């Protein structure tokens, strides 16, 4: 069975095919640990609307969902011990739209705990490996979703992108990764980490699948007051043909392999006829501290609900409610989550808010204004995704420590601070690993991203990892 859209639809078309599909996915999952839960038969009967948006292209297609997005009857662990054994009682709006379009949920994918990480090594269920090289990370926090697509287990998977959590693993695994405009896709059913930054995105095998999934998911939702439909002005702007693409000037701090991929992308865009213009984003150097200040502050508020009382893991014995909460959180949260919650609580303390949190919000406004100025000069912006290729998993000499991983988020976090859409695109294989770049657009101009990405896909379509061929049998 080849990786065409029709073959994906055939994967679940009969009991025999479903059995074959399930067997091969389980075999591949043993190598990469992308799925935390896999059940291709559970939601077959959920597809019900042939008239839904993009039903023709998505109907019958299997997909996976990051395990911080609710799907009724499936687990919802967020990669954390504190939610071990918890089953979702409802389905996220974005997932429901895809089910209504005929797509079929087949399982939940691994992630850094509560979406906090860049490597999918912070999951209490163990790390996800990169399908291209098992000694490398899959990226994070949506590493399970990206790895599942790259390893040929699903044609697309949903993830969440708070500071690059869809785009970075997509680049590491050699697939497409879309972060939509903030508010264009409902967040209802996404377990909140940093509410003003995060969006539900998609990792996909092709540009066409990413586009179809986005069109099916998007739209306002009465269950999410931050969701909205694009204005007529935004729709009109997005319909304009892309002519000029901005590229960052100066030294970007990229390793040679990523630098080559970035320069190769610029040359391809020139060949396609786009005008390339150098731009500057002075606020880019402040993106990482601003992002982590705001994200940690929001995490400290959002994760307060996990106390071992109403749901989730609780201790067998405690002297009083305060001790119960303390023991539940101490044993339930991992070290990275504790670090960010403590940092967030600190910056929100009385006497510190103006010094840290309020200042960060002011710089965030400056970042938005920086992009608004740039988009008066160019249609899209081309940026690296991450300064390195997929790095070694923890404990190895060439692994990145947690601080280095955070500093490297400067290119991806900018889009989240500004609320802009961004698409990670595979562009080459460097030193045996995929290399990608990202395109950023004005709010609600996803269509411009897809248009340029399709041109780049013609030149370099997503490749198969050597150990995961495109044929099922």
Q: State whether 443 and 337 are in the same domain.
A: no
Q: What is the 3-state secondary structure (H, E, C) of the chain?
A: CCCCHHHHHHCCCCHHHHHHHHHHHHHHHHHHCCEEEECCCCCHHHCCCCCCCCHHHHCCCEEEEECCECCCCCECCCCCHHHCCCECCCCCHHHHHHHHCCCEEEEEECCCHHHCCCCCCCCCCCCCEECCEEEEECCCCCHHHHHHHHCCCCCEEEEEECCCCCHHHHHHHCCEEEECCCCCECCCCECCCCCCCCEEEEEECCHHHHHHHHHHHECCECCECCCCCCCHHHHHHHCCCCCEEEEECCCCCCCHHHHHHHHHHHHHHHHCCCEEEEECCHHHHHHHHHHHHHHHHHHHHHHHHCCCCCCCCCCCCCCCHHHHHHHHHHHHCCHHHHHHHHHHHHHCCCCCHHHHHHHHHHHHHHHHHHHHHHCCCCCEEEEECCCCCCCECCCCCCECCHHHHHHCCHHHHHHHHHCCCEEEEEEEEECCEEEEEEEECCCCCHHHHHHHHHHHHHHCCCCCCCCCCCCCC
Do 344 and 389 lie in one domain? The reply is: no
pLDDT, one tens digit per residue, over 342-394 is 999 999 998 899 999 999 999 999 999 999 999 999 999 999 999 999 999 98
Q: Does the annotation mark 66 as catalytic?
A: yes
Is 277 inside any structural domain?
Answer: no
Q: Which of 305, 338, 364 is the last residue of a domain?
A: 364
Averaged pLDDT, 76-89: 96
Pair (149, 223) in one structural domain: yes
37 lies in the same domain as 114: yes
Q: Is 260 part of any domain? A: no
- Catalytic residue, from 66, 108, 179, 406: name it: 66
pLDDT of amino acid 42? 80
- Is 57 a known active-site residue? no
Are residue 319 and residue 389 in the same domain, yes or no? Answer: no
Tell me whether residue 226 is in a domain.
yes
Which of 364, 392, 412 terminates a domain? The answer is 364
Q: What is the mean pLDDT of the chain?
A: 93
pTM score, whole prediction:
0.95
Residue 220 located in a structural domain: yes
Specify whether 165 is catalytic.
Answer: yes
Same domain flag for 305 and 188: no
Where a domain ends, among 330, 364, 398? 364
pLDDT digits (tens, 9 = 90+) for 400-416: 988 899 999 999 999 99
- Active-site residue among 118, 123, 160, 165? 165
Q: Are residues 359 and 388 in the same domain?
A: no
Does residue 322 fall inside a structural domain? Answer: yes
Q: What is the pLDDT of residue 9?
A: 77
How many domains is the chain partitioned into structurally? 2
pLDDT band per the 50, 70, 90 thresholds, residue 237 = confident
pLDDT at 56: 53
Claim to verify: residue 344 and residue 438 sit in the same structural domain: no
Residues of the domain holding 453 = 5-244+381-459
Same domain, 333 and 403: no
- In this predicted model, what pLDDT tens digit does every residue of 45-62 receive, in sequence order? 444 444 444 445 899 999
64 alpha-carbon distance from chain centroid: 13
Looking at the fold, whether 153 and 207 belong to one and the same domain comes out as yes
141, 160, 204, 443: which one is catalytic?
Answer: 141
What pLDDT was estimated at residue 79? 98
| Residue 275 included in any domain | no
């Amino acid at each position: 069975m080849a990786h065409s859209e029709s073959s994906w639809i055939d994967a679940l078309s009969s009991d025999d095919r479903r059995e074959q599909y399930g067997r091969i996915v389980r075999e591949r999952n043993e190598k990469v640990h992308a799925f935390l839960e896999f059940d291709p038969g559970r939601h077959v009967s959920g597809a019900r609307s042939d008239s839904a948006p993009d039903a023709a292209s998505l109907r019958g297609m299997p997909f996976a969902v990051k395990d911080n997005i609710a799907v009724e009857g499936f687990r919802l662990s967020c990669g954390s011990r504190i939610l071990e054994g918890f089953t979702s009682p409802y389905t996220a709006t974005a997932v429901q739209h895809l089910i209504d379009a005929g797509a079929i949920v087949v399982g939940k994918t691994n992630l850094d705990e509560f979406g906090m990480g860049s490597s999918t090594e912070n999951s209490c269920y163990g790390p996800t490996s990169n399908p291209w090289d098992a000694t490398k990370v899959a990226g994070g926090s949506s590493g399970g979703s990206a790895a599942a697509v790259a390893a040929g287990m699903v044609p697309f998977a949903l993830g969440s992108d708070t500071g690059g959590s869809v785009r970075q693993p997509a680049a590491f695994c050699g697939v497409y990764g879309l972060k939509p405009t903030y508010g264009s896709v409902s967040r209802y059913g996404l377990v909140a980490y940093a509410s003003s930054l995060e969006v539900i995105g998609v990792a996909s095998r092709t540009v066409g699948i990413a586009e179809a999934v986005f069109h099916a998911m998007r739209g306002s939702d009465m269950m999410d007051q931050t969701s909205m439909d694009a204005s007529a002005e935004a729709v009109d702007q997005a319909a304009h043909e892309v002519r000029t693409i901005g590229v960052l000037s100066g030294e970007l701090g990229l390793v040679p392999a990523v630098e080559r991929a970035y320069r190769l992308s610029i040359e391809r865009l020139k060949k396609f006829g786009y005008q390339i213009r150098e731009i500057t984003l002075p606020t880019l150097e402040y993106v990482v501290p601003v992002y982590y200040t705001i994200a940690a502050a929001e995490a400290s508020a959002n994760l307060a609900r996990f106390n071992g009382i109403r749901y989730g893991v609780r201790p067998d014995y405690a002297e009083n409610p305060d001790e119960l909460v303390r023991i539940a959180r101490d044993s339930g949260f991992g070290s990275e989550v504790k670090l960010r919650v403590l940092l967030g609580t600190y910056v929100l303390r009385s006497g510190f808010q103006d010094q840290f949190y309020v200042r960060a919000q002011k710089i965030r406004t400056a970042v938005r204004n920086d992009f608004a100025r740039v988009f008066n000069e160019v249609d899209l912006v081309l940026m690296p995704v991450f300064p390195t290729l997929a790095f070694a998993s923890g404990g190895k000499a060439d692994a990145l420590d947690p601080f280095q991983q955070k500093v490297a988020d400067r290119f991806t976090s900018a889009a989240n601070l500004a609320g802009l859409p961004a698409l990670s695109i595979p562009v080459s294989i460097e030193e045996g690993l995929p290399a990608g770049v990202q395109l950023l657009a004005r709010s609600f101009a996803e269509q411009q991203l897809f248009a340029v990405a399709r041109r780049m896909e013609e030149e370099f379509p997503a490749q198969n990892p050597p150990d995961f061929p495109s044929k099922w049998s």
